[in-house]
Chains A and B, each alone.
Chain A
């Protein structure tokens, strides 16, 4: 019995780390730049297919793809920022939302053309293996994906906290005008921030693709999960997004162990409703930053 509980907790933590990495880019883009990036999950989906194609065509291990995805999706994010976001960032938020929704539909449609709606899996050498850690049996793939997610979250957190560029990004989210008065080129830094958010999405897609089956349509499901993590954790805070992801992961594995899977959604959304009634800003207490 104790072993079972330990397994459920360990499984929930690993799953939570993966959810956290799916939410962190969305949280920072929304919290710091004020952009509701509903296309975030489309980039997660592209991240999964990025790993899938590298694995299928060139036998590149998904762990390697995880690290390759970061610069590739960063560049994609910067391009999207320059081509699309700069045209709508100062417009009313609804225009930005429509633009991002259009991008999401476009990417999903292109994904369907390229890969059809068939469900895919990435079956690496370690995919179907497990390891016994003390009394707990863990799937290798979840352990690896969770570790990669944790690594990225820690690096991202340290970047924002301890580097001057990271502090400038946080400053920009707190007071955009004041950031400009100290000489920050907010256009350039916003491009970096958006690029980092999309890089997180791409890398998250690799970890999700390692663990779950996926198709171009599953991005909508991931969008819901990512938003759940973001709303629960509050905006623009990496540590709280991590905490929120862990809570979601633990609830999922805990409820799924006792009840049919559909009750997971019931439990999560009831919890979300309760938290939003008690704390409008989510667990973190952070309010949305205006830019």
Chain B
């Protein structure tokens, strides 16, 4: 599967939930195509807020979110999806009382005017993740945590988004399933997709990262490629904890 190569850019973004109290204060980052860009930082650094901004769930108070140079910052969430920017939220997000097939089909909501294309995209997902095929008619809420994550990833990919925003992908998963999820993220990167990953599992995230940004108190702290972070993780975490 080949995809176009957009580049996501966050330019001097300030954002928050109440006027005058920004959580993000002038954050900048770039996510290149075919690369995994990881955002790290202590609790309260603004990582999840940043993902909300770049997925349209939170309108920035100032600054720009650009996709291939076009500003998306004022678009609603469905506007981002229509432009190929998709969010995999933290925690469980399947529709528990819909079947696996129905969940995956809804991932192609933006393709609903072309039913044939939608059906073929859904079948492509069952070909890509054949272990979901026997579960097709099961209610998604009845599946294990790992199976639900697989459904969420398949649902995320139905519309073939070129930018994936991934929030804490391994939360609540066993180490084996978490490993599979990270391996899948690498596979998606190798297809040319742009991946922006927010993760508390610093070690696992750095392992698959191409470039890392660290946020602290809503601002850019340090940044660099994977090699710059691999050796000194302990020091970084101690700094977050103020030890």
- Pair from one complex: yes
On chain A, the residues within 8 Å of B55 by CB distance are 181
| B159 is an interface residue with CB less than 8 A from chain A | yes
Given that A170-B95, A174-B96, A174-B97 are contacting pairs, would A182 and B89 also be in contact in the complex, using a CB cutoff of 8 Å? no
B67-110 near A? 1/0 per residue, CB < 8 Å:
00000000011100110001111000111111000110111011
Given that A177-B93, A181-B89 are contacting pairs, would A167 and B81 also be in contact in the complex, using a CB cutoff of 8 Å? no
A88-109 near B? 1/0 per residue, CB < 8 Å:
0000000000000000000000
| A4 is an interface residue with CB less than 8 A from chain B | no
Report the minimal beta-carbon distance from A7 to chain B, rounded to whole angstroms. Answer: 39
| B25 is an interface residue with CB less than 8 A from chain A | no
The B46-61 residues at the A interface (CB cut-off 8 A) are: 55, 57
Query: Can you spell out 13 A-B residue pairs with CB atoms less than 8 angstroms apart?
Result: A164-B112, A164-B118, A167-B102, A170-B95, A174-B96, A175-B94, A178-B94, A181-B55, A182-B155, A183-B77, A183-B81, A184-B106, A185-B78
Other contacts beyond A178-B94, A182-B107, A183-B82: 19, CB < 8 A:
A164-B106, A164-B118, A167-B105, A168-B109, A170-B95, A171-B103, A174-B95, A174-B96, A175-B93, A175-B95, A175-B96, A177-B93, A181-B87, A181-B93, A182-B81, A182-B155, A183-B77, A184-B106, A185-B76
Q: Are A170 and B98 in contact (CB under 8 A)?
A: yes
Q: Are B106 and A168 in contact (CB under 8 A)?
A: yes
For the complex, give the distance between the alpha carbons of A133 and B106 in Å: 46
On chain A, the residues within 8 Å of B97 by CB distance are 170, 174
| A270 is an interface residue with CB less than 8 A from chain B | no
Q: Are A183 and B159 in contact (CB under 8 A)?
A: yes
Report the minimal beta-carbon distance from A189 to chain B, rounded to whole angstroms. Answer: 10
Q: Which residue of B is nearest A187, CB measured?
A: B76
For the complex, give the distance between the alpha carbons of A181 and B97 in Å: 17
For the complex, give the distance between the alpha carbons of A164 and B102 in Å: 8
| A180 is an interface residue with CB less than 8 A from chain B | yes
For the complex, give the distance between the alpha carbons of A132 and B81 in Å: 59
Most buried by B among A164, A168, A182: A182
Q: Are B98 and A181 in contact (CB under 8 A)?
A: no
The A158-174 residues at the B interface (CB cut-off 8 A) are: 164-165, 167-168, 170-171, 174
On chain A, the residues within 8 Å of B110 by CB distance are 183
Q: Are B77 and A181 in contact (CB under 8 A)?
A: yes
Q: Are B89 and A178 in contact (CB under 8 A)?
A: yes
Report the minimal beta-carbon distance from A135 to chain B, rounded to whole angstroms. Answer: 42
3 closest Cβ contacts across the A-B interface? A183-B81, A178-B93, A171-B95
For the complex, give the distance between the alpha carbons of A168 and B102 in Å: 9
For the complex, give the distance between the alpha carbons of A164 and B155 in Å: 14
Given that A167-B102, A183-B159 are contacting pairs, would A178 and B95 also be in contact in the complex, using a CB cutoff of 8 Å? yes
For the complex, give the distance between the alpha carbons of A170 and B94 in Å: 12
Q: Are B78 and A171 in contact (CB under 8 A)?
A: no
For the complex, give the distance between the alpha carbons of A198 and B41 in Å: 48
On chain B, the residues within 8 Å of A167 by CB distance are 98, 102, 105-106
Report the minimal beta-carbon distance from A282 to chain B, rounded to whole angstroms. Answer: 16
Given that A164-B105, A167-B102, A171-B106 are contacting pairs, would A184 and B95 also be in contact in the complex, using a CB cutoff of 8 Å? no
